[in-house]
C-alpha cells in the first residue's frame, strides 16, 4: 500500500469524508443493524443500547443526506416509517464487519489499553 499524498487527503477527499462519517458514534452500529433488513425507529432504539430518540433521528437524517439510508413512510393508520440501507449503504457493511471482527479478536488488548489510558487520565487530574 502506497502512502497517501497531502493532495489526495484534502478536505474533499472521499476517504477523509467517509472516515469522518464513520467516526460518528452511532453510524457503524446503525449501518450494521440495518444490514439485517428494514427497521422501524423503535426497533433501532431497542437494538442500539444507549441511543436516544433525538440522536437516532439526527444520525438517520445524516445517513439519509449521505445517500446511505432510505426512509419510507407508510400511509396507514397509524402511519409508520421504516429505514433501510441503499445500495451504497449495503457496500459499507463488509468494511464495518471487518472492523468489528478485528475488534472482537483484539478485545482483551483493547480493554487493557482503555483501562491504562483511563487510569493515566485520572492520575493526571490529581
Delimit the domains of the chain by residue range: 14-125
| Nine-digit cell string for 8 | 489526495
- Across the range 109-124, mean pLDDT stands at 89
Please give the CATH topology (third level) of the domain spanning 14-125. Arc Repressor Mutant, subunit A (1.10.10)
Q: Does the pTM exceed 0.85? A: no
CA-CA distance, 21 to 100, in Å (whole number)?
17
CA-CA distance, 115 to 107, in Å (whole number)?
12
Report whether 122 contacts 51 (CB < 8 A).
no
Q: Tens digits of per-residue pLDDT, 74-99? A: 999 988 999 999 999 999 999 999 99
Q: What angle separates helix 107-125 from helix 93-105, to the nearest 10 degrees?
A: 80
Q: Tens digits of per-residue pLDDT, 25-65? A: 999 999 999 999 999 999 999 999 999 999 999 999 999 99
Peptide bond into 122 cis (omega under 30): no
Amino acid at each position: 500500500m502506497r502512502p497517501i499524498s497531502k493532495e489526495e487527503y484534502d478536505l474533499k477527499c472521499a476517504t477523509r469524508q467517509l472516515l469522518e462519517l464513520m467516526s460518528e458514534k452511532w453510524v457503524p452500529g446503525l449501518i450494521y443493524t440495518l444490514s439485517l433488513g428494514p427497521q422501524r425507529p423503535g426497533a433501532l432504539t431497542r437494538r442500539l443500547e444507549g441511543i436516544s430518540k433525538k440522536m437516532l433521528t439526527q444520525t438517520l437524517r445524516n445517513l439519509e443526506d449521505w445517500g446511505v439510508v432510505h426512509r419510507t413512510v407508510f400511509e396507514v393508520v397509524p402511519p409508520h416509517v421504516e429505514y433501510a440501507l441503499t445500495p451504497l449503504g449495503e457496500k459499507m457493511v463488509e468494511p464495518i464487519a471487518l472492523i468489528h471482527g478485528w475488534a472482537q479478536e483484539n478485545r482483551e488488548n483493547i480493554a487493557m489499553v482503555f483501562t491504562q489510558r483511563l487510569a493515566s487520565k485520572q492520575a493526571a487530574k490529581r
